[in-house]
Amino acid sequence: MSVRRATHADSWYTADSRELDEQLSQWLDAVTPSSTYSPPIQRSKAIIAPHAGYSYSGPAAAWAYKSIDTTGIKRVFILGPSHHVYLDGCALSQCTEYATPIGSLPLDRATIDELDKTGQFSQMDLGTDEDEHSIEMHLPYIRKAFEGKAISVVPILVGAIDKAKEEAFGRILAPYLAREDTLFVISSDFCHWGTRFSYTFYYPQYPPGTTQPLRLSRAGTAPRELAEFPIHASISALDHEAMELLTLPPATARLAHADFAGYLARTRNTICGRHPIGVLLGALAVLQDEHARSPHLQWVRYEQSSQCVTVRDSSVSYASAYVAF
């Protein structure tokens, strides 16, 4: 048992506690309510938020964290995708505490031990734990959102699992999601576009359209549609297609999961947290189908790191959402 260091501080975000606290406060204060979005959201049970460097995704993530109603919450599950090790399953941390520049977060070892006893989880070693950024990037926001409150975390590293395993892990986690004192954080960026990501999918028109999507190439001739429908608009359309499929209602969680899997197979969109999202949908489907819960998933923010105009450009998309019952 050990303390996980804030290994991405001073690179992905500032290690200065005062500066970090001020940044988080500014981003949270900049979130603007509207006629359809009035945070905090009562009975919020989960959020989906990005995990890039704070200079890129910090402002977008604030919209998810602003949605949290912290009343009565004692435990936060964090489901993050594995970027550095191949994992055909889910893994638990062996640490007792996660450090952040603005205060540490104790791990809920009792809950982690319960999950371990199912025999379905592997264990992260400390090196894997400290290398992974998809969980760490949420820790300062969690500490800030629950400032002055006693809170513990349950980090889960989610591997490259198929839909059946997403459903199986969702079933294991569903009873925890149902608890009044528990919140889930789902860590995911959206489209990683550009040749450096080996992904140049392009919709020549807003979907659904009559023209087939393309894969742009530096060696090929730029399609004429780019003048009317630029790459950044295509990326936005591609991401919003997924976001609409995941919106609950009108879809049920089970239907959203099936449609999202089909969308990923068709587009190969580089949504790095697709498997944590799938596990969340698996858990929501159990609660909706077997326990008469009515989940509501709403997207509240969408941003791109830059606007791609040519195939030489690149960008990453960031989307924030909340789930409430």
pLDDT score of 238: 98
- Report which secondary-structure segment, H or E, holds 145: helix 139-145
Q: pLDDT of 6-21, one tens digit each?
A: 999 999 999 999 999 9
Q: Is the pLDDT of residue 104 over 70?
A: yes
Token reading at 132: 């992974």
**3-class SS string, 244-273:** HHHCECCCCHHHHHHHHHHHHHHHCCCCCC
Q: pLDDT of 163-194, one tens digit each?
A: 999 999 999 999 999 999 999 999 999 999 99
320: left (phi over 0), alpha (psi -120 to 50) or beta: beta
Give phi and psi for 297, each to the nearest 5: -115, 120
Q: Is the pLDDT of residue 197 over 70?
A: yes
Residues 6+ apart with CB under 8 A from 255: none
Percent of the chain with pLDDT over 90: 93
What's the one-letter identity of residue 323?
V
Percent of the chain with pLDDT over 70: 100
- Strands 152-158 and 75-81, by their bridges, are parallel
The CA-based angle 216-278-205, given to 5 degrees, is 30
Tokens 């199986």, located at residue: 168
**3-class SS string, 16-46:** CHHHHHHHHHHHHHCCCCECCECCCCCCEEE
Alpha-carbon Rg for the chain, nearest whole angstrom, is: 19
Tell me what the mean pLDDT of segment 205-234 comes to.
90
Question: What secondary structure does DSSP assign to 285-304, as a single string?
Answer: HHHHHHH----EEEEEEEEE
| Chain center to CA of 42 | 20
Q: Is the pLDDT of residue 1 over 80?
A: no
> Please, what is the average pLDDT of the chain?
96
84 contacts 132 by C-beta, under 8 angstroms: yes
Token reading at 129: 């734990």
* Exposure of 245 in the CB half-sphere (CA atoms within 13 A): 21
Give phi and psi for 262, each to the nearest 5: -65, -40
Give phi and psi for 263, each to the nearest 5: -60, -45
Task: Report the C-alpha gap between 303 and 295 in whole angstroms.
Answer: 25
Please choose, from the candidates 306, 299, 243, the residue with its C-alpha nearest in 3D space to the C-alpha of residue 271. Answer: 243
The CA-based angle 222-227-232, given to 5 degrees, is 85
Residues 6+ apart with CB under 8 A from 69: 40, 41, 42, 43, 44
Give phi and psi for 257, each to the nearest 5: -65, -45
For residue 211, name the pLDDT band (cuts at 50, 70, 90): confident
Q: pLDDT of 267-317, one tens digit each?
A: 999 999 999 999 999 999 999 999 999 999 999 999 999 999 999 999 999
Q: pLDDT of 19-51, one tens digit each?
A: 999 999 999 999 999 999 999 999 999 999 999
Task: Report the C-alpha gap between 299 and 67 in whole angstroms.
Answer: 11
Q: pLDDT of 106-150, one tens digit each?
A: 999 999 999 999 999 999 999 999 999 999 999 999 999 999 999
Please choose, from the candidates 274, 271, 80, the residue with its C-alpha nearest in 3D space to the C-alpha of residue 190. Answer: 271
The helix/strand count (H/E) of the chain reads as: 10, 14
Give phi and psi for 120, each to the nearest 5: -100, -10
pLDDT score of 156: 98
